[in-house]
Structure 1
Amino acid sequence: MTTPTPHIEIEGAPATDPGLLAALMTGFGHFTAMQVRDGRVKGLDLHLDRLDRATRELFGRELDGKHVRTLIAGALATSGQRNASVRVYVYPDVRIAVTVAAPAPDGPGAPQRLTTVEYWRPAPHIKHLGGFGQSYHRAAAQRAGFDEAVLTSPYGEIAEGAITNIAFWDGTSVVWPSAPCLRGIAMTLLEPRLESVRRPVTLADLAGYRAAFVTNSRSIAAVTAIDEVTFAVDEELMGRVYSAYDSVEWDEL
């Protein structure tokens, strides 16, 4: 079965204007990614706040959340999809592009094997464009038979996955690395709903953890290995993580 071409709109209009397309080609901007089910989104206010904060930092202007919601709803209506993977991109001159694609599978993600790479994203607090480095390392990890790359400092401190946040279980608390990273929406929703702490996590610490998992806008999945360190899938832990995420209410667009 072939995957349908994503539906793309810019400021509520099909992406056909050469000037608008040129904005997309700058490679400078930011975005957020969300799963939509029956026209609803988890953590919608977090997505809108992320977009507004990054727009202020990159372009010196605020972003009207009501306008963004209208653009998302319009793109969904035009595409004829109520369940979808949606991305909202913001480019120079605060041009907004919305993409609507097939939804991610519901339910827990498949357990993942990860490998580490010495790389930290620039301006990691922004979900920015131009992520060549993380994409390069993730693709290399997948060619080597892994599911995802884990980004570390030259001194072995773990920050995040290439497109995920990572958390560890020490038997008492869920530990999120305190190194600079993008605070994903799933992570932000889960952190207060679990017994969570933030502290430095290094490669030397890995063997002392009982379990690990990764999160992003598409899934939450247990980790079975990071390089040569293996982890058992803690079904009780993962059940709590999934239940915590399921407890988050859906917000109407």
Structure 2
Amino acid sequence: MFCNGQPADAATLGAALINYGHFTSLQVRGHAVQGLDLHLQRLAHATQALFGSMLDERQVQRWMAQALQHAGMADASLRVTVFSRAFDFRDPLSVVPVDVLVAVSAPVQLSASRAVCSVRYQRELPALKHVGTFGLFQQRREAMAAGFDDALFLNEEDQVSEGSTWNLALHDGQQLVWPQAAALRGTAEALLRQHWNGPQVVRAVAAAELDRIQAAFACNASGIWPLGAIDGRALAGSEPLAAQGRAVMAAVPWQPLQV
């Protein structure tokens, strides 16, 4: 882990435990990232929203590249967390400088099919990738205890929103459907929507419609995987739909980290 370009010490990590901040997770291959600009924009927007501060995106990019160099890795998973050692929960409106924590770990690529169950759950501030992840992981834990692989969220209006840590696309037999309900709009979703070669639409999806869906896949920066079943109903078309999504992403350019 590196904070502001330097190896993180215990004092720095202690400040990060306040649990107020935001992050982005991404995959690096050959010192390059798909949707790097989207990840940096996400960090800059959330920094302004949570701290009232401006984020130097170019500096963050340099710190990401430096962390990879220190780790001696060209392929990796990165988590970039923005927090502030100057943040005081007693005075949360104060504009404070922020700190950037970069964690480097082994690369991952998700592709295995998963069976999910729908649950009524809405994240706080769903448009921000904030560090309040307790509810997400607890919903996944409960889904697994019930015999599923993960949880699919429905909002208070019984509309499909997102998965625990992923977005999803559904196919109704005619077109790709992206649920419109409030959710964290991921970088993989944005790239797929931009490059998808075929009919697609963004609209509200009622939970009752899940019985008529023919195929679905989940996506995040770690990959695309088929949703083999939702609420126990098998989706035979999910494997080829996910393969189509992976083919789309394979053609998306990778942006170098080096500034």
Whether TM exceeds 0.5 here: the answer is yes
Structure 1 residue aligned with 2:179, among 177, 180, 192? 177
Aligned to 1:116: 118
Q: CA deviation at 1:218?
A: 1.1
Q: CA deviation at 1:234?
A: 4.3
Aligned to 2:221: 217
Q: Could you report, residue by residue, the CA deviation over 1:19-74 in whole angstroms, capped at 9, with x for unpaired residues? A: x2232111000001100001000000001100001101111111111101110011
Q: Say whether 1:53 aligns with 2:55.
A: no
Distance 1:91 1:163 in 2: 20
Q: Say whether 1:36 aligns with 2:36.
A: no
Mapping 1:227-246, distance limit 5 Å = 227-246=231-250
Residue pair 2:226, 2:239 contacting (<8 A) in 1 also? no
SS at match of 1:35: strand
AA partner of residue 2 (structure 2): E
SS at match of 1:57: helix
Structure 2 residue aligned with 1:85, among 77, 81, 87? 77
Q: Could you report, residue by residue, the CA deviation over 1:4-28 in whole angstroms, capped at 9, with x for unpaired residues? A: xxxx11111111151x223211100
SS at match of 1:28: coil
Q: What TM-score, normalized by structure 2, do the two folds share?
A: 0.90
Distance 2:42 2:239 in 1: 32
Aligned to 2:5: 12
Aligned residues: 243
Distance 1:221 1:235 in 2: 8
Mapping 1:69-218, distance limit 5 Å = 69-92=61-84, 93-105=97-109, 109-194=111-196, 195-218=199-222
Residue pair 1:184, 1:216 contacting (<8 A) in 2 also? yes
Distance 1:82 1:146 in 2: 35
Residue pair 1:72, 1:98 contacting (<8 A) in 2 also? yes
SS at match of 1:180: coil
Percentage identity across paired residues of the two chains: 39
Distance 2:121 2:240 in 1: 32
Q: Return structure 1 stretches of 4+ with deviation > 6 angstroms.
A: none
SS at match of 1:181: coil
- Gapped regions of structure 1 (runs ≥ 5): 1-7
Distance 2:246 2:210 in 1: 23
